Amino acid sequence: MTLESKVAIVTGAAAMLGSAIVRAMVHAGAQVVAVDIDTARGQALQAELGPRCRFVPCDIASDAALDGLVPGVLATEGRIDFLVNNAVVYGDSGLAATRGEWLRALDVNLVSGALLVQKAADALALQRGAVVNMGSVGGKFGTANRALYPAAKAAILQLTRNQAATLAARGVRVNSVSPGWTWSDALSRMAGGDRAHADRVAAPMHPLGRAGDASDVAQVVLFLCSDAARFVTGADIPVDGGFSMLGPDQGRAAGDWFAS
């Protein structure tokens, strides 16, 4: 899957998942604008990947910063083929969340990406480009004591369909990717940095027997941007090792439950 001579914007690019997406796109030949508020990690990524990756510090929740982003990329890179809306904040106090917490979470996790699609739409249409929005298994199932993050992720899946329907006539494809538990800063923190431990805990929920790697997700983002996915729009692709194919019975027939 080659992205040679294409230009991509990836938000939330500095952390493990975002940087894996940037790496995969750069290795496929794209020029990537890596957007994040984490300047130290963003600059480190740029240093690692060289001239095909340009780090742009940008708070996607700031209108002024977003207004400057697309013209800045067009001035420097000359075109925009792909937009990957990946940035996120995880803070979620569930039922106790204040209005301010709700608005902040929805602002970063949902609204800012939607506004970036709006601002990049003309440039994307010129290239008959593609958008990939980051969903999550968290937006598909009930989880106790969480509300803000799953509500935003569920909304992203619907927004993706609306954006796809809106932009199809201009040749822009819009899809989402929904990872299961993926080895990332958050999962590493929970597992005390022990990947094998994370895989053991993840295995019963992920029939392929482990947590995902950031590169597993990145490969599917690459596919959705590539010409191989030229007739795919409005779709959500789970990258979850089978998490979302299971129901509450964990894939075991009633007879098995009674026998055990």
Ligand X SMILES: NC(=O)c1ccc[n+]([C@@H]2O[C@H](COP(=O)([O-])OP(=O)(O)OC[C@H]3O[C@@H](n4cnc5c(N)ncnc54)[C@H](O)[C@@H]3O)[C@@H](O)[C@H]2O)c1
Active site residues: 149
Closest CA to 163 of 70, 235, 211: 235
Bridge-based pairing state of the strands 82-85 and 53-57 = unpaired
Contact region with ligand X (CB under 6 A), list: 165-173, 177-185, 194-202, 226-234: 177-185
Q: Using the rule CB under 6 A, is 181 a contact of ligand X?
A: yes
Among 184, 206, 210, 213, interactor with ligand X by CB under 6 A: 184
**DSSP 3-state of 51:** helix
Residues 190-219, interacting with ligand X (CB under 6 A) = none
Among 7, 8, 10, 14, interactor with ligand X by CB under 6 A: 14
Expressed in angstroms, the distance from the first to the final Cα of the chain is: 46
**Interacting residues of 87 by C-beta distance below 8 A, sequence separation 6+:** 11, 12, 18, 35, 36, 60, 108, 109, 112, 113
Residues 43-102, interacting with ligand X (CB under 6 A) = 59-61, 86-90
Binding mask 125-144 for ligand X (x = CB under 6 A): ---------x-x--------
Residues 214-253, interacting with ligand X (CB under 6 A) = none
Q: Using the rule CB under 6 A, is 16 a contact of ligand X?
A: yes
**Interacting residues of 238 by C-beta distance below 8 A, sequence separation 6+:** 137, 178, 179, 180, 244, 245
Q: Choose between 3 and 211: whose C-beta lies nearer to ligand X.
A: 211
Please, what is the minimum distance in Å from the beta carbon of residue 176 to ligand X?
10
Residue nearest ligand X by beta-carbon distance: 12
Closest CA to 131 of 157, 164, 179: 164
Contact region with ligand X (CB under 6 A), list: 9-17, 72-80, 158-166, 221-229: 9-17
Number of residues that bind ligand X (CB under 6 A): 29
CA distance 136 to 148: 13
Please tell me what DSSP assigns to residue 15.
S
Cβ pair 211, 199 in contact under 8 A: yes
Q: Using the rule CB under 6 A, is 179 a contact of ligand X?
A: yes
Q: Which stretches of the chain bind ligand X, using CB under 6 A?
A: 11-12, 14-18, 35-38, 59-61, 86-90, 108, 134, 136, 179, 181-182, 184-187
